[in-house]
């Protein structure tokens, strides 16, 4: 079997095969993937600062969910970067941690949306839409950088799933802002927060299942 060059993403093909015919998943151990992941972490930090500021000013459930997502991604991607090249147990454990953090994030978003439903005042749809589109642009750039690394072990796969979900998330935030602007109601913003919490929970379950399967195989 021809081995890839050190700087070549080893998951340009979804899977490789070991000498005994066992499937070997890309574990992120390439300089190209490390550079991309470090850049994606930077993108998420900048987006968190921008969207988080808007969420605080507006008291928006959708923007709050988006900001927390950027923050969580920055932290969990840093864990992914640290775990690269380590044992299967460590990498799968890192993915399990990310799955658990997504569950916590989903519950936090759901709780905030419920709190806003009870106590919240009308919010400015234009700001939500603008920051939602800003978040989409940031996530689109991250997705373009990561798309060639979308297949791999649980650690690598979880990074792609989070980024893919973030694209949907940001569009939902922008759409919620547009509906708030048109209807003059805060309910579209709150509904977007609830839907996004469900999306995070679904991703968390997927990541945890793959991580447990890899730990069992190891």
Q: What is the pLDDT of residues 125-174, one digit of tens each?
A: 677 788 888 989 999 999 999 888 887 777 778 788 778 878 887 888 78
In-domain check, residue 111: yes
Number of domains in the chain: 1
CA distances from 86 to 83, 89, 125, 165 (A): 6, 8, 45, 26
Q: Is residue 18 part of a domain?
A: no
Q: Which of 15-29, 64-78, 117-131, 148-162 is the least confident region?
A: 15-29
pLDDT, mean of residues 34-59:
88
In a domain, 17, yes or no: no
10 Å Cβ neighbour count for 84?
18
8 occurs within a structural domain: no
- Domain carrying residue 100: 27-217
> Distance from first CA to last CA of the chain, Å, rounded?
23
DSSP letter (8 states) at residue 182: H
Residue 73 lies in a domain: yes
Task: Please tell me the pTM assigned to this model.
Answer: 0.66
Residue 32 has phi, psi (to 5 degrees) of -60, -45
Integer Cα distance of 8 and 87 in angstroms: 21
- Say if 80 falls within a structural domain: yes
Is the model's pLDDT at 14 over the cut of 70?
Answer: no
- DSSP code at position 11: T
Between 16 and 67, the higher pLDDT residue: 67
pLDDT of residue 124: 65
Residue 5 lies in a domain: no
Contact 180, 189 (CB under 8 A): yes
Residue 63 included in any domain: yes
Q: Would you place residue 86 in the very low, low, confident or very high pLDDT band (cuts 50, 70, 90)? A: confident
């Amino acid at each position: 079997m021809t081995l890839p060059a050190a700087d070549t993403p080893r998951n340009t093909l979804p899977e490789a095969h070991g000498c005994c015919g066992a499937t070997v998943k890309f574990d992120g151990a390439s300089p190209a993937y490390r550079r991309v992941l470090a850049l994606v972490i930077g993108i998420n930090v900048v987006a968190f600062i921008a969207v988080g500021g808007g969420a605080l000013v507006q008291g928006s459930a959708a923007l709050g969910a988006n900001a927390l997502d950027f923050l969580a991604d920055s932290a969990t991607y840093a864990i992914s970067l640290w775990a690269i090249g380590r044992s299967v147990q460590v990498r799968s454990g890192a993915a399990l941690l990310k799955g658990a953090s997504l569950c916590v994030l989903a519950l936090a978003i759901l709780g905030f949306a419920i709190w806003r439903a009870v106590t919240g005042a009308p919010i400015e749809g234009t700001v939500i839409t603008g920051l939602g589109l800003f978040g989409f642009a940031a996530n689109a750039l991250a997705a373009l950088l990561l798309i060639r690394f979308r297949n791999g072990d649980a650690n690598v796969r979880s990074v792609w799933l989070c980024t893919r979900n973030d694209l949907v998330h940001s569009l939902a935030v922008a759409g919620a802002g547009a509906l708030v602007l048109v209807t003059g109601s805060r309910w579209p913003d709150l509904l977007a927060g609830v839907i996004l919490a469900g999306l995070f929970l679904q991703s968390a379950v997927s990541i945890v299942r793959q991580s447990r399967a890899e730990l069992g195989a190891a």
